[in-house]
Amino acid sequence: MQDLAVNLGIDVLFKGTNFIRLLGGLWTALWISLVSVAISIPLGIGMGVLMTKKNRILKAVLRVYLEFIRIMPQLVLLFIMFFGTTRAFGWDLSGEAASIIVFVLWGTAEMGDLVRGALISIPKHQYESSEALGLTNTQTYLYVIIPQTIRRLIPLSINLITRMIKTTSLILMIGVVEVLKVAQQIIEANRMTSPNGAFGVYLTVFLLYFIACWPISMLAKYLEKKWS
């Protein structure tokens, strides 16, 4: 057993507080993505509703915002938010704050587009029937449209959450020590004594991401089945 651990290079994880540090790194990645998700969802719903409005200027502005966020690699957005805002406005954002802002901007855009898609997929007769029943505009949304939209939305938005968790691996570039950075630190600190460390540590990181994302993915699958 000991030999196997050495061959796989997992032994380095049992030195000192290494494994606890790795879990700490995972927690950093998770809380940053979960806070971002919690803020993005209500903002994204708002944006999605606005995107279905007939106002042309509003539509154009939101479209430009969505495309900008989509085209820009997240790493570039992170650099702009972390270093760029200091140069331009003298803001001294922490790495964590810059990450959350970027992830919220990204999450809101993506979520907005998902909500827009879900809303326009509701057939027109649903609105017309509600009107025929004498429901007000608010009642139509509250009792007819939104429940159906949410049903279509949940699996898609859960995918967004797992994508966000995985993208946190980029925030090490702006000085946030998350799970991947801790892994690199452990591998390098033991470069001489455990040359196999890279394999074992990255394997562990893979498992940690998997353990974090898999239940979320399964939930999406379950809900998709239940509501389809």
Partner 1 sequence: MKKLNFKKLIALGLTAAAAVASFTACGTNATSGGSDGNTGSKVYRTLDEIKASGKINIGVFSDKNPFGYVDENGEYQGYDIYFANRLGKDLGVEINYVSTEAANRVEYLETGKVDIILANFTVTDERAEKVDFALPYMNVALGVVSPDSNVIKSLDNWKAEDKMIVISGTTAELYLTKNYPDIKLQKYDSYATAKSAIENGNGVAWANDNTEVLAFAKQNPGYTVGIDSLGSQDTIAPAVSKGNETLLNWINDEIKTLGKENFFHADYDATLASTYGADYKETLVVEGGEVKKS
Tell me if residue 191 falls in helix, strand or coil.
coil
| DSSP 8-state secondary structure symbol assigned to residue 15 | S
Instruction: Confirm or reject binding of residue 147 to partner 1 (CB under 8 A).
Output: no
Selected from 1, 3, 73, 228, the binder of partner 1 by CB under 8 A is 73
Selected from 60, 173, 207, 216, the binder of partner 1 by CB under 8 A is 173
Dist CA 107 CA 172 (whole Å): 19
Interacting residues with partner 1 between 92 and 131 (CB under 8 A): 92
Dist CA 79 CA 90 (whole Å): 14
Selected from 4, 90, 125, 138, the binder of partner 1 by CB under 8 A is 90
Dist CA 198 CA 187 (whole Å): 6
| DSSP 8-state secondary structure symbol assigned to residue 175 | T
Max Cα–Cα distance, the chain, nearest Å: 76
Selected from 52, 159, 184, 217, the binder of partner 1 by CB under 8 A is 184
Residue pair 176/99 in contact by the 8 Å Cβ criterion? yes
Instruction: Confirm or reject binding of residue 71 to partner 1 (CB under 8 A).
Output: no
Selected from 8, 59, 84, 213, the binder of partner 1 by CB under 8 A is 84
Instruction: Confirm or reject binding of residue 18 to partner 1 (CB under 8 A).
Output: yes
Q: Which is nearer to partner 1, 67 or 188 (CB)?
A: 188
Instruction: Confirm or reject binding of residue 80 to partner 1 (CB under 8 A).
Output: yes
Selected from 6, 8, 21, 43, the binder of partner 1 by CB under 8 A is 21
Dist CA 84 CA 124 (whole Å): 45
Instruction: Confirm or reject binding of residue 166 to partner 1 (CB under 8 A).
Output: no
